[in-house]
Structure 1
Amino acid sequence: MTKRLSELLALHWSGEISDEEKAELDELLLQHPGDWLKAGQLEQLVFSKVTADEEDKVNSLIDRVSNIIGDENRPQLPLMPATAPRRFRARTLLVALLLLVAGGGMLFTWLYRAQGYKIVTTDVGMKTKIRLADGSSIILNAGSTLRYPEKMDKGIREVYLNGEAFFDIKHAASRPFIIHAEKMDVRVLGTSFNVRAYKEEDFEETAVISGAVEMVVKEDKQVIRIAPNEKVLLHKNADHEKTKTNNTTAATGKQAAAIERSPLSPISAADSNHVLETAWLNNQLIFQNETLSTIAQRLERWYGVKIVIRDPQLAALRFSGRADNVSIEKLLNILQEIQPFKYSVQDDIVTIN
Protein backbone atom coordinates (compact mmCIF):
# COMPACT_ATOMS: atom_id res chain seq x y z
CA MET A 1 0.00 0.00 0.00
CA THR A 2 1.29 3.48 -0.86
CA LYS A 3 1.94 6.10 1.80
CA ARG A 4 -0.59 8.42 0.16
CA LEU A 5 -3.33 5.77 0.27
CA SER A 6 -2.65 5.20 3.98
CA GLU A 7 -2.89 8.95 4.63
CA LEU A 8 -6.18 9.26 2.77
CA LEU A 9 -7.68 6.25 4.53
CA ALA A 10 -6.71 7.75 7.90
CA LEU A 11 -8.42 11.02 6.95
CA HIS A 12 -11.48 9.09 5.79
CA TRP A 13 -11.84 7.16 9.04
CA SER A 14 -11.32 10.31 11.13
CA GLY A 15 -14.04 12.12 9.17
CA GLU A 16 -11.63 14.90 8.17
CA ILE A 17 -11.33 14.07 4.46
CA SER A 18 -12.16 16.82 1.94
CA ASP A 19 -14.14 16.32 -1.27
CA GLU A 20 -10.93 16.56 -3.33
CA GLU A 21 -9.17 14.02 -1.10
CA LYS A 22 -12.21 11.73 -1.25
CA ALA A 23 -12.07 11.80 -5.06
CA GLU A 24 -8.35 10.98 -4.91
CA LEU A 25 -9.04 8.11 -2.48
CA ASP A 26 -11.74 6.71 -4.76
CA GLU A 27 -9.31 6.73 -7.69
CA LEU A 28 -6.54 5.00 -5.69
CA LEU A 29 -8.91 2.31 -4.43
CA LEU A 30 -10.14 1.79 -7.98
CA GLN A 31 -6.55 1.22 -9.09
CA HIS A 32 -5.65 -1.01 -6.13
CA PRO A 33 -8.84 -2.80 -5.00
CA GLY A 34 -6.94 -5.39 -2.97
CA ASP A 35 -5.93 -2.64 -0.55
CA TRP A 36 -9.49 -2.57 0.81
CA LEU A 37 -8.59 -5.77 2.64
CA LYS A 38 -4.96 -4.91 3.32
CA ALA A 39 -6.01 -1.61 4.89
CA GLY A 40 -8.42 -3.30 7.25
CA GLN A 41 -11.52 -1.58 5.92
CA LEU A 42 -13.46 -4.73 6.73
CA GLU A 43 -16.34 -3.09 8.54
CA GLN A 44 -17.49 -1.74 5.17
CA LEU A 45 -17.48 -5.13 3.42
CA VAL A 46 -20.65 -7.19 3.19
CA PHE A 47 -20.52 -11.01 3.21
CA SER A 48 -23.29 -13.56 2.69
CA LYS A 49 -24.74 -15.24 5.79
CA VAL A 50 -23.67 -18.87 6.20
CA THR A 51 -25.49 -21.67 7.98
CA ALA A 52 -24.54 -22.76 11.50
CA ASP A 53 -22.69 -25.81 10.19
CA GLU A 54 -20.79 -23.74 7.64
CA GLU A 55 -20.01 -21.13 10.30
CA ASP A 56 -18.55 -23.80 12.59
CA LYS A 57 -16.38 -25.05 9.74
CA VAL A 58 -15.15 -21.54 8.95
CA ASN A 59 -14.40 -20.85 12.63
CA SER A 60 -12.53 -24.13 12.91
CA LEU A 61 -10.49 -23.33 9.81
CA ILE A 62 -9.74 -19.83 11.11
CA ASP A 63 -8.46 -21.25 14.40
CA ARG A 64 -6.24 -23.72 12.56
CA VAL A 65 -4.81 -20.98 10.32
CA SER A 66 -4.31 -18.70 13.34
CA ASN A 67 -2.35 -21.39 15.18
CA ILE A 68 -0.19 -22.07 12.15
CA ILE A 69 0.80 -18.49 11.37
CA GLY A 70 1.34 -17.50 15.02
CA ASP A 71 0.79 -14.17 16.71
CA GLU A 72 3.86 -12.50 15.23
CA ASN A 73 2.77 -13.22 11.67
CA ARG A 74 -0.92 -12.41 11.99
CA PRO A 75 -2.22 -9.62 9.77
CA GLN A 76 -1.70 -6.20 11.32
CA LEU A 77 -4.40 -3.59 10.84
CA PRO A 78 -2.94 -0.36 12.24
CA LEU A 79 -5.66 1.83 10.78
CA MET A 80 -8.52 -0.01 12.50
CA PRO A 81 -10.08 1.74 15.54
CA ALA A 82 -7.87 1.34 18.61
CA THR A 83 -10.76 -0.09 20.64
CA ALA A 84 -10.89 -3.26 18.53
CA PRO A 85 -8.98 -6.13 20.22
CA ARG A 86 -5.91 -7.23 18.27
CA ARG A 87 -7.04 -10.87 18.00
CA PHE A 88 -10.48 -9.77 16.86
CA ARG A 89 -8.99 -7.64 14.09
CA ALA A 90 -6.76 -10.48 12.89
CA ARG A 91 -9.64 -12.93 13.09
CA THR A 92 -11.88 -10.57 11.11
CA LEU A 93 -9.32 -10.34 8.34
CA LEU A 94 -8.99 -14.12 8.28
CA VAL A 95 -12.78 -14.47 8.01
CA ALA A 96 -12.81 -12.07 5.09
CA LEU A 97 -9.95 -13.81 3.31
CA LEU A 98 -11.38 -17.28 3.86
CA LEU A 99 -14.83 -16.27 2.69
CA LEU A 100 -13.30 -14.78 -0.45
CA VAL A 101 -11.31 -17.96 -1.07
CA ALA A 102 -14.24 -20.23 -0.19
CA GLY A 103 -16.62 -18.35 -2.48
CA GLY A 104 -15.92 -20.66 -5.40
CA GLY A 105 -18.62 -19.09 -7.52
CA MET A 106 -16.76 -15.79 -7.50
CA LEU A 107 -13.26 -17.22 -7.89
CA PHE A 108 -11.08 -14.15 -8.36
CA THR A 109 -13.91 -11.76 -9.10
CA TRP A 110 -13.85 -9.63 -5.95
CA LEU A 111 -16.93 -7.76 -4.76
CA TYR A 112 -16.76 -4.97 -2.21
CA ARG A 113 -19.59 -2.85 -0.85
CA ALA A 114 -18.68 0.50 0.65
CA GLN A 115 -20.44 3.83 1.18
CA GLY A 116 -23.29 3.03 -1.18
CA TYR A 117 -20.97 1.74 -3.92
CA LYS A 118 -19.99 -1.68 -5.14
CA ILE A 119 -16.52 -2.37 -6.50
CA VAL A 120 -16.03 -5.41 -8.74
CA THR A 121 -12.57 -6.55 -9.80
CA THR A 122 -11.85 -9.37 -12.26
CA ASP A 123 -8.55 -11.20 -12.08
CA VAL A 124 -6.48 -12.19 -15.11
CA GLY A 125 -8.08 -14.74 -17.40
CA MET A 126 -11.60 -13.94 -16.21
CA LYS A 127 -14.59 -11.78 -17.02
CA THR A 128 -17.89 -11.21 -15.25
CA LYS A 129 -21.33 -9.78 -15.97
CA ILE A 130 -22.88 -7.07 -13.82
CA ARG A 131 -26.52 -5.98 -13.86
CA LEU A 132 -27.16 -2.48 -12.53
CA ALA A 133 -30.22 -1.36 -10.58
CA ASP A 134 -31.54 0.56 -13.62
CA GLY A 135 -31.56 -2.58 -15.78
CA SER A 136 -28.34 -1.77 -17.64
CA SER A 137 -25.79 -4.57 -17.98
CA ILE A 138 -21.99 -4.51 -18.07
CA ILE A 139 -19.54 -7.25 -19.00
CA LEU A 140 -16.18 -6.64 -17.33
CA ASN A 141 -13.07 -7.96 -19.05
CA ALA A 142 -10.04 -9.53 -17.35
CA GLY A 143 -7.82 -7.40 -15.13
CA SER A 144 -10.47 -4.69 -14.78
CA THR A 145 -12.20 -2.83 -11.95
CA LEU A 146 -15.60 -1.16 -11.95
CA ARG A 147 -17.07 1.00 -9.18
CA TYR A 148 -20.79 1.74 -9.36
CA PRO A 149 -23.64 2.83 -7.03
CA GLU A 150 -25.84 0.15 -5.47
CA LYS A 151 -28.86 2.34 -6.21
CA MET A 152 -29.32 4.22 -9.48
CA ASP A 153 -31.62 6.84 -7.96
CA LYS A 154 -29.80 10.06 -8.85
CA GLY A 155 -30.25 12.38 -11.81
CA ILE A 156 -26.94 11.24 -13.29
CA ARG A 157 -25.89 7.58 -13.46
CA GLU A 158 -22.11 7.37 -12.95
CA VAL A 159 -19.60 4.52 -12.86
CA TYR A 160 -15.79 4.43 -12.68
CA LEU A 161 -13.74 2.09 -14.87
CA ASN A 162 -10.14 0.93 -14.88
CA GLY A 163 -9.75 -1.69 -17.61
CA GLU A 164 -12.19 -2.81 -20.29
CA ALA A 165 -15.94 -3.31 -20.28
CA PHE A 166 -18.87 -3.70 -22.67
CA PHE A 167 -21.88 -1.57 -21.73
CA ASP A 168 -25.54 -2.12 -22.68
CA ILE A 169 -27.24 0.91 -21.15
CA LYS A 170 -30.98 1.31 -20.62
CA HIS A 171 -32.32 4.47 -22.25
CA ALA A 172 -33.30 7.28 -19.89
CA ALA A 173 -33.44 10.69 -21.57
CA SER A 174 -33.49 12.62 -18.30
CA ARG A 175 -30.75 10.55 -16.62
CA PRO A 176 -27.49 10.44 -18.61
CA PHE A 177 -25.04 7.62 -17.96
CA ILE A 178 -21.36 8.58 -17.53
CA ILE A 179 -18.30 6.30 -17.46
CA HIS A 180 -15.28 7.91 -15.83
CA ALA A 181 -11.85 6.66 -16.99
CA GLU A 182 -8.39 8.09 -16.36
CA LYS A 183 -8.18 10.43 -19.36
CA MET A 184 -11.77 10.58 -20.60
CA ASP A 185 -15.43 10.56 -19.62
CA VAL A 186 -17.99 8.80 -21.83
CA ARG A 187 -21.56 10.13 -21.72
CA VAL A 188 -24.56 8.21 -23.08
CA LEU A 189 -28.36 8.14 -22.83
CA GLY A 190 -28.93 4.56 -23.93
CA THR A 191 -26.77 2.45 -26.23
CA SER A 192 -24.27 -0.42 -26.44
CA PHE A 193 -20.56 0.25 -26.67
CA ASN A 194 -17.12 -0.88 -25.52
CA VAL A 195 -14.69 1.13 -23.40
CA ARG A 196 -11.04 0.17 -23.07
CA ALA A 197 -9.03 2.13 -20.50
CA TYR A 198 -6.24 0.09 -18.92
CA LYS A 199 -3.79 2.11 -16.86
CA GLU A 200 -0.79 0.31 -18.33
CA GLU A 201 -1.75 0.94 -21.97
CA ASP A 202 -0.85 4.16 -23.78
CA PHE A 203 -4.34 4.79 -25.15
CA GLU A 204 -8.02 4.75 -24.20
CA GLU A 205 -10.71 3.66 -26.65
CA THR A 206 -14.47 4.00 -27.02
CA ALA A 207 -16.15 1.80 -29.66
CA VAL A 208 -19.87 2.29 -30.34
CA ILE A 209 -22.02 -0.63 -31.51
CA SER A 210 -25.42 1.08 -31.45
CA GLY A 211 -26.76 4.48 -30.47
CA ALA A 212 -24.34 7.35 -30.00
CA VAL A 213 -22.05 8.57 -27.24
CA GLU A 214 -20.06 11.67 -26.37
CA MET A 215 -16.46 11.34 -25.24
CA VAL A 216 -15.04 14.20 -23.18
CA VAL A 217 -11.24 14.53 -23.06
CA LYS A 218 -10.44 15.50 -19.47
CA GLU A 219 -7.27 17.38 -20.36
CA ASP A 220 -8.86 20.07 -22.52
CA LYS A 221 -12.62 19.36 -22.12
CA GLN A 222 -12.87 18.57 -25.84
CA VAL A 223 -16.21 16.89 -26.66
CA ILE A 224 -16.19 14.22 -29.39
CA ARG A 225 -19.41 12.64 -30.61
CA ILE A 226 -19.07 9.01 -31.73
CA ALA A 227 -21.57 7.46 -34.13
CA PRO A 228 -22.61 3.77 -34.41
CA ASN A 229 -19.97 1.43 -35.90
CA GLU A 230 -17.29 3.95 -35.08
CA LYS A 231 -14.50 4.19 -32.52
CA VAL A 232 -12.24 6.91 -31.15
CA LEU A 233 -8.77 6.34 -29.68
CA LEU A 234 -7.33 8.79 -27.20
CA HIS A 235 -3.55 8.50 -27.04
CA LYS A 236 -2.10 9.34 -23.63
CA ASN A 237 1.35 10.38 -24.81
CA ALA A 238 1.80 14.14 -24.69
CA ASP A 239 4.20 14.29 -27.66
CA HIS A 240 1.52 13.59 -30.27
CA GLU A 241 1.11 16.70 -32.39
CA LYS A 242 -1.92 15.89 -34.52
CA THR A 243 -5.55 14.99 -34.14
CA LYS A 244 -6.94 12.71 -36.85
CA THR A 245 -10.63 12.63 -37.74
CA ASN A 246 -11.41 10.32 -40.66
CA ASN A 247 -9.64 11.93 -43.63
CA THR A 248 -8.95 15.27 -41.96
CA THR A 249 -5.99 16.20 -39.80
CA ALA A 250 -6.00 19.19 -37.47
CA ALA A 251 -2.92 20.57 -35.72
CA THR A 252 -2.97 20.75 -31.94
CA GLY A 253 -0.50 21.80 -29.29
CA LYS A 254 2.26 19.38 -28.34
CA GLN A 255 0.67 18.80 -24.96
CA ALA A 256 -2.72 17.87 -26.41
CA ALA A 257 -3.59 14.20 -26.57
CA ALA A 258 -3.89 12.69 -30.04
CA ILE A 259 -7.37 11.64 -31.15
CA GLU A 260 -7.95 9.02 -33.84
CA ARG A 261 -11.39 8.32 -35.27
CA SER A 262 -12.03 5.25 -37.42
CA PRO A 263 -14.73 2.69 -38.30
CA LEU A 264 -14.98 -0.54 -36.34
CA SER A 265 -12.97 -3.48 -37.71
CA PRO A 266 -15.04 -6.47 -38.90
CA ILE A 267 -13.43 -9.79 -38.05
CA SER A 268 -14.03 -11.01 -41.61
CA ALA A 269 -15.34 -9.54 -44.85
CA ALA A 270 -18.23 -12.01 -44.82
CA ASP A 271 -19.34 -11.10 -41.30
CA SER A 272 -19.70 -7.40 -40.54
CA ASN A 273 -21.74 -7.99 -37.36
CA HIS A 274 -18.76 -9.23 -35.34
CA VAL A 275 -15.96 -6.71 -34.86
CA LEU A 276 -12.45 -6.83 -33.51
CA GLU A 277 -13.19 -4.34 -30.73
CA THR A 278 -15.62 -6.71 -28.97
CA ALA A 279 -14.09 -10.07 -29.95
CA TRP A 280 -13.11 -10.67 -26.31
CA LEU A 281 -16.80 -11.11 -25.46
CA ASN A 282 -16.70 -14.36 -27.46
CA ASN A 283 -13.33 -15.45 -26.06
CA GLN A 284 -11.63 -14.59 -29.34
CA LEU A 285 -8.05 -13.36 -29.17
CA ILE A 286 -7.41 -11.32 -32.33
CA PHE A 287 -4.64 -8.84 -33.07
CA GLN A 288 -4.07 -6.74 -36.18
CA ASN A 289 -0.71 -5.10 -36.83
CA GLU A 290 0.07 -4.88 -33.09
CA THR A 291 3.54 -4.76 -31.60
CA LEU A 292 4.76 -7.72 -29.59
CA SER A 293 4.95 -5.42 -26.57
CA THR A 294 1.24 -4.55 -26.88
CA ILE A 295 0.29 -8.18 -27.50
CA ALA A 296 2.26 -9.20 -24.41
CA GLN A 297 0.09 -6.93 -22.24
CA ARG A 298 -3.04 -8.60 -23.57
CA LEU A 299 -1.60 -12.09 -23.12
CA GLU A 300 -0.71 -11.32 -19.50
CA ARG A 301 -4.36 -10.54 -18.79
CA TRP A 302 -5.64 -13.38 -20.98
CA TYR A 303 -3.46 -16.19 -19.61
CA GLY A 304 -2.46 -14.89 -16.18
CA VAL A 305 1.28 -14.91 -16.89
CA LYS A 306 4.11 -12.40 -16.72
CA ILE A 307 5.88 -11.78 -20.04
CA VAL A 308 9.40 -10.35 -20.17
CA ILE A 309 10.78 -9.25 -23.56
CA ARG A 310 14.58 -8.98 -23.36
CA ASP A 311 15.21 -7.47 -26.81
CA PRO A 312 13.67 -4.01 -27.57
CA GLN A 313 13.76 -4.81 -31.29
CA LEU A 314 11.60 -7.86 -30.69
CA ALA A 315 9.19 -5.77 -28.62
CA ALA A 316 8.67 -3.49 -31.65
CA LEU A 317 7.88 -6.32 -34.10
CA ARG A 318 4.30 -6.27 -35.42
CA PHE A 319 1.95 -9.22 -35.73
CA SER A 320 -1.49 -9.98 -37.10
CA GLY A 321 -3.35 -13.16 -36.28
CA ARG A 322 -6.03 -14.97 -34.32
CA ALA A 323 -5.88 -17.69 -31.68
CA ASP A 324 -8.99 -19.08 -29.99
CA ASN A 325 -8.81 -21.53 -27.08
CA VAL A 326 -5.12 -22.38 -27.41
CA SER A 327 -2.43 -22.58 -24.73
CA ILE A 328 0.12 -19.80 -24.28
CA GLU A 329 2.84 -22.11 -25.64
CA LYS A 330 0.79 -22.88 -28.76
CA LEU A 331 0.18 -19.20 -29.38
CA LEU A 332 3.86 -18.35 -28.97
CA ASN A 333 4.73 -21.09 -31.45
CA ILE A 334 2.30 -19.52 -33.94
CA LEU A 335 3.91 -16.10 -33.45
CA GLN A 336 7.34 -17.67 -33.98
CA GLU A 337 6.25 -18.74 -37.46
CA ILE A 338 5.41 -15.12 -38.32
CA GLN A 339 8.53 -13.54 -36.83
CA PRO A 340 11.42 -15.67 -35.47
CA PHE A 341 12.24 -15.41 -31.77
CA LYS A 342 13.03 -17.71 -28.84
CA TYR A 343 11.14 -18.03 -25.59
CA SER A 344 11.21 -19.98 -22.34
CA VAL A 345 8.50 -20.64 -19.75
CA GLN A 346 9.20 -21.07 -16.06
CA ASP A 347 6.22 -21.26 -13.72
CA ASP A 348 4.08 -18.28 -14.76
CA ILE A 349 6.90 -16.22 -16.29
CA VAL A 350 7.48 -16.18 -20.07
CA THR A 351 10.84 -14.81 -21.22
CA ILE A 352 11.22 -13.82 -24.89
CA ASN A 353 14.73 -13.42 -26.35
Structure 2
Amino acid sequence: MAVHTPAATTTPVALPDGTQVVLGSGSRLEYDSDFGHNGVREVTLYGEARFSVAHDARKPFIVKSDNMSTRVLGTVFYVRSYRGGAGSVVLVEGSVSVGGGKADGGMTLRPGQRAVVDRDGGIKVSKADMAAAGGWTQGEFRFDDSRLDEVMNDIGSWYNVGIAFHSPRLLKLRVHFNFPRRLPLDDVLQALNDLGVARFKYSEGRIDIE
Protein backbone atom coordinates (compact mmCIF):
# COMPACT_ATOMS: atom_id res chain seq x y z
CA MET A 1 0.00 0.00 0.00
CA ALA A 2 1.25 3.50 -0.77
CA VAL A 3 -0.06 7.03 -0.14
CA HIS A 4 1.49 10.04 -1.89
CA THR A 5 0.98 13.74 -1.14
CA PRO A 6 1.53 16.35 -3.91
CA ALA A 7 3.46 19.56 -3.29
CA ALA A 8 1.90 22.33 -1.16
CA THR A 9 -0.65 20.10 0.57
CA THR A 10 -1.00 17.50 3.33
CA THR A 11 -2.86 14.18 3.51
CA PRO A 12 -4.42 12.48 6.57
CA VAL A 13 -3.85 8.71 6.67
CA ALA A 14 -5.49 6.19 9.02
CA LEU A 15 -3.48 2.96 9.33
CA PRO A 16 -5.20 -0.39 10.02
CA ASP A 17 -4.10 -0.40 13.70
CA GLY A 18 -5.71 2.98 14.40
CA THR A 19 -2.50 5.00 14.08
CA GLN A 20 -3.16 8.46 12.63
CA VAL A 21 -0.68 10.01 10.20
CA VAL A 22 -0.53 13.46 8.61
CA LEU A 23 1.63 13.14 5.50
CA GLY A 24 3.58 16.24 4.48
CA SER A 25 4.12 17.95 1.15
CA GLY A 26 5.79 15.84 -1.54
CA SER A 27 5.87 12.82 0.78
CA ARG A 28 5.12 9.12 0.36
CA LEU A 29 4.14 6.51 2.95
CA GLU A 30 4.35 2.78 2.21
CA TYR A 31 3.20 -0.25 4.21
CA ASP A 32 2.39 -3.90 3.49
CA SER A 33 -1.14 -5.15 2.97
CA ASP A 34 -0.64 -7.47 5.98
CA PHE A 35 0.48 -4.55 8.17
CA GLY A 36 0.89 -5.66 11.79
CA HIS A 37 0.15 -9.34 11.19
CA ASN A 38 3.73 -10.54 11.74
CA GLY A 39 4.21 -9.05 15.20
CA VAL A 40 5.59 -5.70 14.06
CA ARG A 41 4.01 -2.59 12.53
CA GLU A 42 6.40 -1.18 9.94
CA VAL A 43 6.06 1.69 7.48
CA THR A 44 8.49 3.38 5.11
CA LEU A 45 8.48 7.17 4.80
CA TYR A 46 9.90 9.37 2.06
CA GLY A 47 9.48 12.98 3.16
CA GLU A 48 7.85 14.08 6.41
CA ALA A 49 4.91 13.08 8.56
CA ARG A 50 3.31 13.43 11.98
CA PHE A 51 2.52 10.10 13.65
CA SER A 52 0.06 9.51 16.48
CA VAL A 53 0.72 5.82 17.11
CA ALA A 54 -1.91 3.54 18.61
CA HIS A 55 -0.41 1.79 21.65
CA ASP A 56 0.24 -1.94 21.34
CA ALA A 57 2.93 -3.32 23.65
CA ARG A 58 3.05 -6.58 21.68
CA LYS A 59 3.71 -4.93 18.32
CA PRO A 60 6.36 -2.20 18.08
CA PHE A 61 5.82 0.49 15.45
CA ILE A 62 8.82 1.16 13.18
CA VAL A 63 9.28 4.02 10.72
CA LYS A 64 11.97 3.30 8.14
CA SER A 65 13.34 6.19 6.10
CA ASP A 66 16.28 7.09 3.90
CA ASN A 67 19.00 7.20 6.56
CA MET A 68 17.36 6.29 9.87
CA SER A 69 14.88 4.12 11.71
CA THR A 70 12.49 5.14 14.51
CA ARG A 71 10.98 2.55 16.88
CA VAL A 72 8.02 3.16 19.23
CA LEU A 73 5.16 1.41 21.02
CA GLY A 74 2.64 4.26 21.20
CA THR A 75 3.40 7.97 21.05
CA VAL A 76 3.19 11.22 19.04
CA PHE A 77 6.16 12.38 16.99
CA TYR A 78 7.31 13.96 13.73
CA VAL A 79 9.69 12.40 11.21
CA ARG A 80 11.39 14.33 8.41
CA SER A 81 13.54 12.50 5.86
CA TYR A 82 13.62 13.90 2.35
CA ARG A 83 16.04 12.10 0.05
CA GLY A 84 19.55 13.52 0.07
CA GLY A 85 19.24 15.47 3.32
CA ALA A 86 19.68 14.84 7.02
CA GLY A 87 16.81 13.08 8.77
CA SER A 88 15.17 14.31 11.97
CA VAL A 89 12.71 13.14 14.62
CA VAL A 90 10.87 15.42 17.06
CA LEU A 91 9.11 13.79 20.01
CA VAL A 92 5.85 15.33 21.25
CA GLU A 93 4.84 12.75 23.85
CA GLY A 94 5.77 9.22 24.87
CA SER A 95 9.13 7.72 23.95
CA VAL A 96 10.95 6.82 20.74
CA SER A 97 14.27 5.21 19.91
CA VAL A 98 16.14 6.60 16.90
CA GLY A 99 18.90 4.80 15.03
CA GLY A 100 21.09 5.76 12.09
CA GLY A 101 21.07 3.69 8.93
CA LYS A 102 18.77 0.66 8.92
CA ALA A 103 19.08 -0.16 12.64
CA ASP A 104 15.78 -0.31 14.51
CA GLY A 105 16.47 2.45 16.99
CA GLY A 106 19.33 3.19 19.35
CA MET A 107 19.11 6.61 21.02
CA THR A 108 16.04 7.27 23.18
CA LEU A 109 14.37 10.70 23.08
CA ARG A 110 12.34 12.49 25.72
CA PRO A 111 9.35 14.72 24.89
CA GLY A 112 10.50 18.07 23.54
CA GLN A 113 13.73 16.70 22.08
CA ARG A 114 14.87 16.56 18.45
CA ALA A 115 17.30 14.06 16.95
CA VAL A 116 19.10 14.87 13.70
CA VAL A 117 20.65 11.94 11.83
CA ASP A 118 23.36 12.82 9.32
CA ARG A 119 24.16 10.96 6.11
CA ASP A 120 26.73 8.79 7.93
CA GLY A 121 24.26 7.71 10.62
CA GLY A 122 25.59 10.04 13.33
CA ILE A 123 22.93 11.34 15.73
CA LYS A 124 22.76 14.74 17.46
CA VAL A 125 20.07 15.43 20.07
CA SER A 126 18.93 18.92 21.05
CA LYS A 127 15.91 20.81 22.36
CA ALA A 128 13.18 20.92 19.72
CA ASP A 129 11.40 23.99 18.40
CA MET A 130 7.94 22.47 18.80
CA ALA A 131 6.13 25.28 16.98
CA ALA A 132 8.40 24.92 13.95
CA ALA A 133 8.17 21.12 13.98
CA GLY A 134 4.38 21.11 13.86
CA GLY A 135 3.70 24.31 11.96
CA TRP A 136 3.14 22.53 8.65
CA THR A 137 0.27 20.50 10.14
CA GLN A 138 -1.42 23.83 11.02
CA GLY A 139 -0.90 25.28 7.54
CA GLU A 140 1.91 27.63 8.54
CA PHE A 141 5.64 28.15 8.27
CA ARG A 142 6.80 28.71 11.86
CA PHE A 143 10.43 29.43 12.59
CA ASP A 144 11.82 31.00 15.76
CA ASP A 145 15.54 31.79 15.63
CA SER A 146 16.04 29.02 13.05
CA ARG A 147 18.94 28.58 10.63
CA LEU A 148 18.21 29.99 7.19
CA ASP A 149 19.19 26.76 5.44
CA GLU A 150 16.59 24.84 7.48
CA VAL A 151 13.95 27.46 6.67
CA MET A 152 14.68 27.31 2.96
CA ASN A 153 14.81 23.51 2.87
CA ASP A 154 11.29 23.48 4.31
CA ILE A 155 10.04 26.08 1.84
CA GLY A 156 11.70 24.25 -1.05
CA SER A 157 10.07 20.95 -0.05
CA TRP A 158 6.65 22.55 0.32
CA TYR A 159 6.65 24.28 -3.07
CA ASN A 160 8.72 21.57 -4.79
CA VAL A 161 11.48 23.94 -5.91
CA GLY A 162 15.26 23.88 -5.72
CA ILE A 163 17.33 26.02 -3.34
CA ALA A 164 20.72 27.62 -4.13
CA PHE A 165 22.79 29.61 -1.62
CA HIS A 166 25.38 31.86 -3.26
CA SER A 167 27.39 32.50 -0.09
CA PRO A 168 28.32 30.00 2.66
CA ARG A 169 27.80 32.66 5.35
CA LEU A 170 24.07 32.75 4.55
CA LEU A 171 23.55 29.11 5.53
CA LYS A 172 23.93 29.74 9.25
CA LEU A 173 22.03 33.02 9.49
CA ARG A 174 19.23 32.75 12.05
CA VAL A 175 15.79 34.19 11.35
CA HIS A 176 12.30 34.50 12.81
CA PHE A 177 9.70 33.76 10.16
CA ASN A 178 5.99 32.96 10.38
CA PHE A 179 3.80 32.85 7.28
CA PRO A 180 0.73 30.97 5.93
CA ARG A 181 1.58 28.06 3.63
CA ARG A 182 -1.55 28.54 1.54
CA LEU A 183 -0.19 31.68 -0.14
CA PRO A 184 1.73 31.70 -3.46
CA LEU A 185 5.51 31.34 -3.45
CA ASP A 186 5.90 34.94 -4.66
CA ASP A 187 4.24 36.18 -1.46
CA VAL A 188 6.53 34.04 0.68
CA LEU A 189 9.62 35.35 -1.11
CA GLN A 190 8.45 38.93 -0.66
CA ALA A 191 8.07 38.32 3.08
CA LEU A 192 11.56 36.80 3.18
CA ASN A 193 13.02 39.77 1.32
CA ASP A 194 11.33 42.07 3.83
CA LEU A 195 13.46 40.47 6.57
CA GLY A 196 16.47 42.23 5.05
CA VAL A 197 18.94 39.39 5.70
CA ALA A 198 19.45 38.32 2.07
CA ARG A 199 18.00 38.61 -1.43
CA PHE A 200 15.59 35.86 -2.50
CA LYS A 201 14.70 35.38 -6.17
CA TYR A 202 12.81 32.60 -7.97
CA SER A 203 13.60 31.57 -11.53
CA GLU A 204 13.22 28.36 -13.54
CA GLY A 205 12.27 26.10 -10.66
CA ARG A 206 14.87 27.39 -8.18
CA ILE A 207 15.13 29.96 -5.40
CA ASP A 208 18.48 31.77 -5.40
CA ILE A 209 19.64 33.32 -2.11
CA GLU A 210 22.30 36.02 -2.32
- Distance in 1 between residues matched to 2:208 and 2:46, nearest whole Å: 27
Pairing of 1:246-265 with structure 2 (within 5 A): 257-262=122-127, 264-265=128-129
Q: Is 2:15 the counterpart of 1:123?
A: no
Tell me the equivalent position of 1:287. 143
Cα distance in 1, alignment partners of residues 112 and 173 from structure 2: 29
CA–CA distance in 2 between the matches of 1:219 and 1:137? 24
Q: In 1, Cα distance between the equivalents of 2:65 and 2:43?
A: 9
CA spacing shift, 1:137–1:221, aligned 2, 3 Å: closer
Among residues 141, 160, 168, which one is paired with 2:44 in the alignment? 160
1:331 alignment partner, one of 171, 179, 188:
188
Q: CA deviation at 1:313?
A: 4.2
| Structure 2: distance between partners of 1:229 and 1:124 | 28
**Residue aligning to 1:319:** 175
> Shift of residue 258 of structure 1?
4.0
What amino acid is aligned across from residue 192 of structure 2 in structure 1?
L
Instruction: Name the SS for the 1:334 alignment partner.
Output: helix
Aligned pair in 2 of structure 1 residues 191, 345: CA closer, same or farther (>3 Å)?
A: closer
Distance between the aligned counterparts of 1:212 and 1:128, measured in 2? 25
The structure with more helix, counted as a fraction of residues: 1
Which residues of structure 2 form unaligned runs of 5+?
Answer: none
Aligned partner of 1:331: which letter? V
Q: Deviations over 1:135-192 (max 9, x none)?
A: 1121110121211122322211111112111111111111111111222211111111
Measure, in 2, the Cα distance between the counterparts of 1:134 and 1:194: 18
For 1:222 and 1:191, locate their aligned partners in 2 and report how far apart those are by CA, in whole Å: 15
Amino acid at match of 1:286: R
Q: CA RMSD in A?
A: 2.6
Relative to structure 1, is the Cα distance of residues 155 and 204 closer, same or farther in structure 2, using a 3 angstrom cutoff? same
Greater length-normalized contact order (CA 8 Å, ≥ 6 residues apart): 2
Q: Deviations over 1:55-84 (max 9, x none)?
A: xxxxxxxxxxxxxxxxxxxxxxxxxxxxxx
Compute the displacement of 1:227 (Å).
2.1
* Structure 1 residues 19-66: Cα deviation after superposition (integer angstroms, max 9, x where no partner): xxxxxxxxxxxxxxxxxxxxxxxxxxxxxxxxxxxxxxxxxxxxxxxx
Aligned residue type for 2:177: G
Unaligned runs of 5+ in 1: 1-117, 239-255, 267-274
TM-score relative to the length of structure 1: 0.53
Distance 1:172 1:221, change over 3 A: closer
**CA separation in 2, counterparts of 1:221 and 1:154?**
16
- After superposition, the Cα gap between the structure-2 partners of 1:344 and 1:211, relative to the gap in structure 1 and judged at 3 Å, is closer
With over 3 angstroms needed to count, the CA separation of the structure-2 counterparts of 1:343 and 1:177, relative to structure 1, is closer
Taking only the aligned residue pairs, the percentage that are identical comes to 25
Tell me, in whole angstroms, the C-alpha distance in 2 between the residues paired with 1:281 and 1:209. Answer: 13
User: Which residue identity lines up with residue 139 of structure 1 in the other structure?
Assistant: V
